[in-house]
């Protein structure tokens, strides 16, 4: 079972460049989300989705876009990268928004914006 | 929205010492409570969770946590830590369909 798969694991960007972080899960989970992890800040929710075609903003959505065309995939787009977006990004999924079940996390994507 | 507080962000202790990490939250309604662990260079993994029933929850690797509703707390404990417990620990609280994480406790166990 692959679980939650994120690519790439590492990426270096220049300010203003765009890129997409990929996230795929094979557990048929309705709920998917993106977090960023920064030292001393814990995990902060960027965007989430409760099902295909449905997305919503989290705590820190500015500078990021998401879409959910299929149940399996939930890509995170940075349209114009800024140094403040240097972080480790985690994709996570759960059975459903209303589910009390645990979140399953991907391995993380470390992004550096120069 | 609920908030989650974890104190003593950095904890250093020797092997065989006891560990207790505090977690307090602000939401007054029904909550689901979680502790996640992140070993160096790895992703977050579930350590234990509380949904209902016995407020003393036992998780993997000898960890346990106690839900005290009156104190809005869900503290994590381990009687005797090992070097392999070096990790960052995150408390998370799900209430009103929103999940909030604490800022984490960085725990270093010295052999």
Strands B10-14 and B105-110, sheet pairing:
parallel
Sign of CA dihedral B61, B43, A90, A85: positive
Q: Is the pLDDT of residue A99 over 70?
A: no
Q: Which residues in chain B are contacts of A40 at CB distance < 8 A?
A: 9, 103
Q: In this predicted model, what pLDDT tens digit does every residue of A10-48 receive, in sequence order? A: 999 999 999 999 999 999 999 999 999 998 888 999 999
Residue A98 has pLDDT above 70, yes or no: no
- Rounded to a whole number of angstroms, the distance from the CA of B78 to the nearest CA of chain A is 21
- Mutation target to probe the A interface, by most A beta carbons within 10 A, among B101, B104, B105 is B101
pLDDT higher than 90, residue B7:
no
Helix (H, G, I), strand (E, B) or coil at B61: helix
Chain A residues close to B92, C-beta within 8 Å: 103
On average, the pLDDT of chain A sits at 92
Residue of A nearest to B10 (CA): A40
Confidence check: pLDDT of B1 > 70: no
pLDDT tens digit string along B71-86? 999 999 999 999 999 9
Shortest CA gap B110–chain A (Å):
22
Put simply, the answer to whether B99 touches A90 (Cβ < 8 Å) is: no
**Percent of chain B having pLDDT more than 70?**
99
Cis peptide before B69 (omega within 30 of 0): no
Establish how many alpha carbons lie within 13 A of residue A63's alpha carbon, considering only the half-sphere containing its beta carbon: 15
**C-alpha distances out from residue A12 to A85, A107, B41, B52, Å:** 11, 17, 18, 44
Q: What is the DSSP letter of B69?
A: G
């Amino acid at each position: 079972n692959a679980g939650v798969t994120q690519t790439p694991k590492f990426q270096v960007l220049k300010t203003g460049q765009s890129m997409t972080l990929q996230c795929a899960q094979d557990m048929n989970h309705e709920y998917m989300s993106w977090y960023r992890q920064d030292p001393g800040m814990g995990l902060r929710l960027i965007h989430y989705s409760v099902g295909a075609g449905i997305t919503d903003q989290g705590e820190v959505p500015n500078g990021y876009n998401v879409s959910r065309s299929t149940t399996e995939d939930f890509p995170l787009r940075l349209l114009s990268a800024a140094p403040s977006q240097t972080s480790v990004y985690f994709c996570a999924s759960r059975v459903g928004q209303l589910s009390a079940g645990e979140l399953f996390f991907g391995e993380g994507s470390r992004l550096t914006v120069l | 929205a609920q908030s989650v507080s974890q104190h003593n962000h950095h904890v250093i202790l020797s092997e065989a010492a006891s560990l207790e990490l505090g977690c307090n939250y602000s939401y007054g309604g029904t909550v689901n409570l979680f502790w996640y662990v992140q070993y160096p260079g790895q992703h977050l993994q579930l350590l234990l969770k509380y949904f209902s029933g016995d407020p003393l929850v036992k998780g993997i690797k000898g960890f346990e946590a106690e839900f005290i509703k009156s104190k809005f707390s869900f503290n994590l404990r381990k009687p005797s830590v090992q070097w392999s417990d070096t990790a960052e620990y995150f408390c998370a609280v799900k209430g009103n369909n929103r999940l909030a994480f604490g800022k984490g406790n960085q725990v270093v166990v010295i052999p």
